[in-house]
Amino acid sequence: MNEFYQKDIISIKDYTKDQLETIFASTDKIMQLNPQDRREICKGKTLGYLFYEPSTRTRLSFDSAMASIGGNSLGISDISSSSTQKGESLADTVRIMSIYSDVLVLRNPLDGSSRFAAEISDKPVINAGSGTEEHPTQAIQDLFTIKKEKKKIDGLKIGIVGDLKYGRTVYSLLYGLGNYDVDVRLISPESLRIRSDSTYEIKKRIDFTETTDIEDHLDELDVLYVTRIQKERFPDEEEYLKVKGSYVVGLDMLKRMKDDAIILHPLPRIDEIAADVDTTKNAKYFEQAEYGKHTRAALLGMILNENGF
């Protein structure tokens, strides 16, 4: 039996380096399978999704990953059309979804929501974003992208820029990077530095420096991970307006970076990367989105198929 069979994915902190490497190897393997063999992996299985927040890539990549391994998906992506609107609790909705599906994918604005759902569901739960806390499958996709594009993770200098306070992908990525020997530069406006409750944990495992000045670090970075200012999580609009547009990665910045540096972004992008960067060889955020489909297919394949693939 493979070690991920019927297991939840709640936090990237639950994974060792060996386990992450197993997931990357399985992703490589699944990418090489021909479509017909790939469709055998989860034939007849159903993924149920519950998205209490907007999503494009995460939900669609789960959908398309599941279809590519022979399964199907059903669920709720517009919560206003569900019984939540009538007052049904998250617990009851999760219970019902776990009757109709073999694995549950949940996105919810509350920290701790996925852990809570996993306690209720008798089917495995995958956290597709829990409040400002974590987004573990995004981090798996991000780490896989770094590994594919840079051929390694150990030894890299990685800049993470933008909204480090509210961006959940940043936390999952940092916890994941904690398994590797990396030098991290955390670049943000003063008011959007990473939350102090997490710095304790991250400090134990990663060498990082915090700064507001991106220019000082550009020429050293191997990877620049750009994030969106999370407008919807600000307690008031005034605060958002103060930091809106703080960093915009454009061709001028790119010129000052290493020739083989890569630019990543979990997307959606608002204005933090100029559109003319998209066609450069350094821009890897669309590849990153594509790898998301394959990493999720590999994860679903291992969770739902006892013998793996």
Catalytic residues: 57-58, 86, 107, 135
- If we measure between CA atoms, which residue out of 139, 204, 205, 195 comes closest to residue 172? 139
Binding window for ligand NCD (CB under 6 A); candidates: 4-12, 181-189, 212-220, 266-274: 266-274
Count of residues that bind ligand NCD according to CB under 6 A: 11
Q: Is 11 one of the binding residues for ligand NCD (CB under 6 A)? A: no
Distance CA 53, CA 213 (A): 32
Question: Which neighbouring-strand residues pair with 9?
Answer: 126
What angle is formed at CA 55 by the lines to CA 178 and CA 41, rounded to 5 degrees?
75
Helix axes of 136-150 and 168-177: crossing angle, nearest 10 degrees: 60
Of 48 and 292, which CB lies nearer to ligand NCD in the complex structure? Answer: 292
Site string for ligand NCD, 48-87 (x = CB under 6 A): ---------xx-----------------------------
The rounded distance, in Å, linking the Cα atoms of 218 and 233 is 28
For ligand NCD, the closer CB: 41 or 277: 277
Residue span 166-185 as binding mask against ligand NCD, x where in contact by CB under 6 A, dash where not: --xx----------------
Closest approach, Cβ 128 to ligand NCD, in A, equals: 7
In the bound state with ligand NCD, the residue whose beta carbon lies nearer, of 116 and 225, is 225
Q: How far apart are the first and last CA of the chain?
A: 11
φ, ψ at 8 (rounded to 5°): -75, 160
Residue 140 near residue 176 (C-beta atoms within 8 A):
yes
Q: Determine the interface stretch with ligand NCD among 37-45, 75-83, 94-102, 261-269 (rule: CB under 6 A).
A: 261-269
Residues forming a β-bridge with 104:
48, 125
Does 267 interact with ligand NCD (rule: CB under 6 A)? yes
**C-alpha span between 134 and 53 (Å, rounded):** 14
Tell me whether residue 38 or residue 265 sits nearer to ligand NCD (CB atom): 265
Within residues 217-246, the interface with ligand NCD by CB under 6 A covers 228
For residue 167, give the nearest of 196, 131, 143 by alpha carbon: 131
Structure tokens at 199: 């710095």
**Binding map of ligand NCD across residues 117-146, x = CB under 6 A, - = no contact:** ------------x-----x--x--------
Which one of 124, 176, 178, 266 is in contact with ligand NCD (CB under 6 A)?
A: 266
Write out the residues near ligand NCD by the rule CB under 6 A.
57-58, 129, 135, 138, 168-169, 228, 266-268
